[in-house]
Amino acid sequence: SGHPINIAIDGPAGAGKSTVARLVASALRYVYVDTGAMYRAVTAIALERGIPVLDEISIGRLAEELDIRLQPDEDGQRVWTDGRDVTSMLRTHEVNRNVSQVSSYEAVRLRMAELQRRMAKEKGVVMDGRDIGTHVLPDAELKIFLTATPRERALRRFRELGDDADITLEQLEHDIAERDRMDRERAIAPLLQAPDAKLVDSTGLAIERIVDDIARWARAASRTISAGEK
Ligand code: CDP
Ligand code: CDP
């Protein structure tokens, strides 16, 4: 029912973007697109091939040549590069520590934004990342900037590791802070709240509550557009 819209969800690491975006997409029967996974895929393949992450030319070339495909599935999204499922390679500490460097390069950002805009062309997409509301989909009908305190975000990620944690909470908090700093300070499409984005602080908030709010705002935006067309 209603006119499908695009929803942009941006914010720092561990704010709850992917969890919330996936549930909003499922509530609205929209397609969920995790753009961070695309930057992670470029980074993982660079590390696998031994391409130094400081070699901007080679990393840029890799981003332009790599065939990256996203495949929606029950628990989110699978990522394929050059016909291989690389999903399990994307969330290592090694990728965490190098992805913001890779993501700072213009050639990488231009290529990823081009692929992402293509995915959102038909509308009905919930896309999460850092620059979706500001650069990739500046015309998205609903924009959310999701945050939480740095301590809470590190704690969430630490809990996800469970008993297999091969890193201390302090190290994790340090890694996240460093990635956030690089994402906020980069010259091209930095992490930033769009002026027309709704700010949602998820600290201490239940996931369901945030999902319900966003789904409600989305339905309202969709109705407004449908009404405008009559
Ligand atoms: O899940 P988490 O919040 O830890 O990270 P992610 O969303 O998978 O993003 C990983 C990294 O990719 C970020 O730290 C950014 O450096 C980069 N990224 C970006 O530059 N632009 C986006 N639209 C999405 C991610
Ligand atoms: O995608 P992003 O890095 O922004 O965060 P996420 O991976 O969706 O969320 C990180 C963790 O925080 C997940 O384990 C979520 O279940 C949890 N979370 C939470 O406890 N409360 C919220 N309001 C949102 C997320």
pLDDT digits over 4-47, tens only? Answer: 999 999 999 999 999 999 999 999 999 999 999 999 999 999 99
Confidence class for position 75, pLDDT limits 50, 70, 90? confident
Residue 128 φ/ψ, nearest 5 degrees? -115, 145
Mean pLDDT over each residue of the chain, to the nearest integer: 96
3 CB near ligand 2 (under 6 Å): no
Number of C-beta neighbours around residue 69 at 10 A: 14
The number of CA neighbours under 13 Å toward the Cβ of 146 is: 30
Does residue 218 carry a pLDDT above 70? yes
Average pLDDT score over residue span 84-95: 96
Q: Which residues pair with 79 in a beta bridge?
A: 70
Q: Quote the CA–CA distance of 185 and 74 in Å, as a whole number.
A: 34
CB 68 within 8 A of CB 41: yes
CB 191 within 8 A of CB 184: yes
- CA of 207 from ligand 2 middle (Å) equals 8
- CA of 230 from ligand 1 middle (Å) equals 39
- CA of 99 from ligand 1 middle (Å) equals 7
Provide the pLDDT for residue 228.
83
CA 215 to chain CA mean position, Å: 18
Q: Quote the CA–CA distance of 116 and 136 in Å, as a whole number.
A: 7
Q: Quote the CA–CA distance of 128 and 154 in Å, as a whole number.
A: 19
Which residues line ligand 1 at a C-beta cut-off of 6 Å? 13-14, 18, 35-37, 39-40, 99-100, 103, 129-132, 179, 183
The reply to whether 165 sits in an annotated binding site is no
CB 142 within 8 A of CB 21: no
The reply to whether 149 sits in an annotated binding site is no
Residue located nearest, by CA, to atom 10 of ligand 2: 14
Q: Which range is least confidently modeled, 68-77, 92-101, 142-151, 221-230?
A: 221-230
Predicted TM-score (pTM) of this structure: 0.97
Confidence class for position 1, pLDDT limits 50, 70, 90? low
CA 137 to chain CA mean position, Å: 13
Atom of ligand 2 nearest to the CA of 34: 1
Q: Mutation test of ligand 1: which of 10, 35, 86 has the most ligand atoms closer than 8 Å to its C-beta?
A: 35
